[in-house]
Amino acid sequence: MAAPLLSRPAFATTATNAAGTSLKVGDQRSTIRSLLEASGQLKDIPYTLEFADFPAAAPVLEALNAGAIDAGFAGDAAHAFALSNGLPAKIISAARSDPGCIGLLVRKDSPIRTVADLKGRTITAVRGSIGHYLVVAALKANGLSVSDVTLAFLQPTEAKSAFSSGTVDAWAIWTLYVAQEVVAGTGRVLVDGRGLLNNNAFISATDVAIAQKRALLQDYVARVAAARIWALGNVAEYARIWGDLVKVTPEIAVAAFKLERFRPVAVDDGIVADLQTTADFYTGIGVIQKPFTAAAHADRSFALDPGLLAQSARAG
C-alpha cells in the first residue's frame, strides 16, 4: 500500500503553473529515491524530479553550495559544518533516527575491546561528519582526546578499503556501511552513538530554489515524509528496492533500515536546539571557527501536514 501524500491538495493549487519545471535533488546511496519509489510517491509528480546520488553528506552539500542541485539530504553534523562555512541554503525538512546507527567499528579479530584501547591507534572518519563527532564524543566520554589517537580523514569508499586492509584500526561510519561490516562478519561495533549524539537529518534547499521553486520543494518534502512513514511499516518491501539500487543483499538492507528507523518531524525549536548543540560541539574542538546561530539556518515555512506528523509520532 502506498503512503498517503497528505500535502498534495495544497500543492495542486499552488503549483499548477509549475508543471514541467524540474527539481534536482541530492541523495546519499539512493536513500530518498528508494523510499519514494517503494512507497509509490514517484507517481503523478507534476514536475521533473532528478536525483544526483552521492556516497556521503559532504559531497551532497558541496553540490548544493555550487548550485548543482536545488535541495540535498544530509545529517546534522555535516550541515553544521557546511552552513558555518557559508552554504547558501536553509533547512526545510527534518527527520530523527536512532543514534545507534552511527558506529565506531573495529575489525572482528581486532584486539581492541574498549574505547580506552584506541589510545595510540589510527581512526578514520569523514571530516565534519557525524562519524567524526562520534569519535570525539566517545574519546571524551572515556577520558581521552583526539591527541591520544591519529585521525585519518577519508571518504567512505577510501575508508572502507583502509579498514579492510588494516591500514587503520577503527572506522567511524553510519548505517549502511555499519550493516555491511556487521552482517558480513568483518567488523564489530565498539561503541555507537546512543547517549553520545543526536542523529537528525535534514533536507536543505538553496536560497535560490526556495525563492523560485517553493511549491515543488513543499511537494517534495511532503512526499519524502509520507514515504518514510510508509517504510516504517513495510521494511522488507522497502529494503528490497533500496538493496537493489545500492547493490547490497536484502539482509544488509533490512539490517541498515532497522538500525536507523528515520521518522519525519517538524523543523521546530527542538530540532534547532539539537543543531545548535552539534555546532557548539564542533566549535569546541575547532572544526567550526565562526559564530553559528542555528535558528538563522532553518526555514520553518515548509510545514508538514499535522496528520502526517501524528502518524510519525505513533510510528516512532
State the amino acid at position 187 in one-letter form. Answer: G
Q: Of the residues 132, 162, 192, which one is the last residue of a structural domain?
A: 192
In a domain, 59, yes or no: yes
In a domain, 124, yes or no: yes
Question: In this structure, are 267 and 162 located in the same domain?
Answer: no
Range of the domain at 113: 99-192
The pLDDT value recorded for residue 245 is 87
In a domain, 2, yes or no: no
Please count the residues of the chain: 316
How far apart CA 244 and CA 137 sit, in angstroms, is: 34
The pLDDT value recorded for residue 315 is 80
Question: In this structure, are 222 and 86 located in the same domain?
Answer: yes
DSSP for 179-208 reads HHHHHHTSEEEEEESTTT---EEEEEEEHH
The pLDDT value recorded for residue 91 is 98
Question: In this structure, are 292 and 145 located in the same domain?
Answer: no
User: What Cα–Cα distance (Å) separates residue 64 from each residue in 128, 205, 215?
Assistant: 16, 8, 19
Question: In this structure, are 121 and 91 located in the same domain?
Answer: no
The pLDDT value recorded for residue 287 is 86
Question: In this structure, are 47 and 20 located in the same domain?
Answer: yes
pTM to 2 decimal places: 0.86
Question: In this structure, are 164 and 288 located in the same domain?
Answer: no
How far apart CA 158 and CA 167 sit, in angstroms, is: 11
> For the purposes of burial, counting CB atoms within 10 Å of the CB of 308, is it exposed (0-12), middle (13-18) or buried (19 or more)?
buried
In a domain, 143, yes or no: yes
Question: In this structure, are 90 and 111 located in the same domain?
Answer: no
The pLDDT value recorded for residue 308 is 87
The pLDDT value recorded for residue 316 is 67
How far apart CA 194 and CA 222 sit, in angstroms, is: 28
Backbone angles phi, psi at 294, to 5 degrees: -55, -40
Question: In this structure, are 234 and 271 located in the same domain?
Answer: yes
Q: Of the residues 192, 211, 234, which one is the last residue of a structural domain?
A: 192
The pLDDT value recorded for residue 157 is 93
Q: Encode the chain (316 residues) as per-residue pLDDT tens digits.
A: 444 444 443 343 233 344 449 999 999 989 999 999 999 999 999 999 999 999 889 999 999 999 999 999 999 999 999 999 999 999 999 999 999 999 999 999 999 999 999 999 999 999 888 999 999 999 999 999 999 999 999 999 999 999 999 999 999 999 999 999 999 999 999 999 999 998 999 999 999 999 999 999 999 999 999 999 999 999 999 999 999 988 999 999 999 999 999 999 999 999 999 999 999 999 998 889 989 999 999 999 999 999 989 988 888 6
The pLDDT value recorded for residue 205 is 98
Under 8 Å between Cβ of 221 and 304: yes
Q: Which residues contact 61 (CB under 8 A, 6 or more apart)?
A: 26, 72, 74, 78, 79, 82, 87, 204
Q: What CATH number corresponds to the domain at position 152? A: 3.40.190.10
Question: In this structure, are 265 and 176 located in the same domain?
Answer: no
Q: Of the residues 192, 227, 255, which one is the last residue of a structural domain?
A: 192
The pLDDT value recorded for residue 128 is 84
Question: In this structure, are 304 and 182 located in the same domain?
Answer: no
Question: In this structure, are 151 and 164 located in the same domain?
Answer: yes
Question: What is the CB-side half-sphere exposure of residue 182 using CA atoms within 13 A?
Answer: 24
Question: In this structure, are 229 and 81 located in the same domain?
Answer: yes
User: What Cα–Cα distance (Å) separates residue 108 from each residue in 170, 184, 252?
Assistant: 11, 10, 17
In a domain, 1, yes or no: no
Q: Which residues contact 181 (CB under 8 A, 6 or more apart)?
A: 105, 163, 187, 188
Report how many domains make up the chain: 2
